[in-house]
Amino acid sequence: MATTKRKTEKSITARQICRIHTVKYILGISDDNYRECLESRFNVVTCKNLTLLQAKSFIDELDKFALKMQGKHDQAQRDAAKQKAVEEYQKRPKRFDELDNRLGYASGAQLRKISAMWSDISFVPDHNARARALRHFIKRISGVADLRFLDSQAASKVICALTAMQKQESEPANAKTPRKTV
């Protein structure tokens, strides 16, 4: 039931027709739904019967719908990428995992804790210098040359020493009690 346009209103342009059909195709709108939408909204069966302003309005609606659909699609892609990254991260072996399950030696978790605590405490900016300082600290506390050679008891000693250093670092400077001289 196409209605006739008034003579004063401009007809739809070829570019608008092309735009409507392109967006319709991109969105995957079926022909039946497309025609039903045109009929309910503008009382026409084909976009060729739209006026210039009606076509602009219809294109704007289709564009808004396309943006809304694109946003949902983009969010789904971001969620999938995030999930993939999390799965890959979880598959990746943790630091010191190869040193785990050694009888009598420190566990990988203990070694990771020591390393993380040292990174928090140490103020040396160079990575190699910080690693040398950690080896020196471990040698002083446990008598072992490197982190890899710590047994579980020595690892506990190092963790306790690092914890004491963290507590000492967190105390305000004026809260320390001065030593009494005799």
Averaged pLDDT score across all residues of the chain: 84
| Range in 69-78, 81-90, 130-139, 146-155 the model is least confident about | 69-78
| Distances in whole angstroms, Cα of residue 70 to Cα of each of 1, 20, 26, 27, 32 | 33, 17, 11, 9, 22
Burial-class residue 83 by CB neighbours within 10 Å (0-12, 13-18, 19+).
exposed
> Which tens digits make up the pLDDT trace of 123-153?
888 889 999 999 999 999 999 999 889 999 9
Residue 3 has pLDDT above 80, yes or no: no
User: In which band, very low, low, confident or very high, does the pLDDT at 28 lie, cut at 50, 70 and 90?
Assistant: confident
User: In which band, very low, low, confident or very high, does the pLDDT at 178 lie, cut at 50, 70 and 90?
Assistant: low
> Which tens digits make up the pLDDT trace of 105-115?
999 999 999 99
If you write DSSP's letter for every residue of 147-171 in order, what string do you get? GGG-BHHHHHHHHHHHHHHHHHHHS
Residue 2 has pLDDT above 60, yes or no: no
Q: Which long-range contacts (CB under 8 A, 24 or more apart) does 147-151 make?
A: 147/106, 147/111, 147/114, 147/115, 148/99, 148/111, 149/105, 150/105, 150/106, 150/110, 150/111, 150/114, 151/104, 151/105, 151/106
Question: Torsion over CA of 174, 177, 167 and 137, rounded to 10 degrees?
Answer: 110
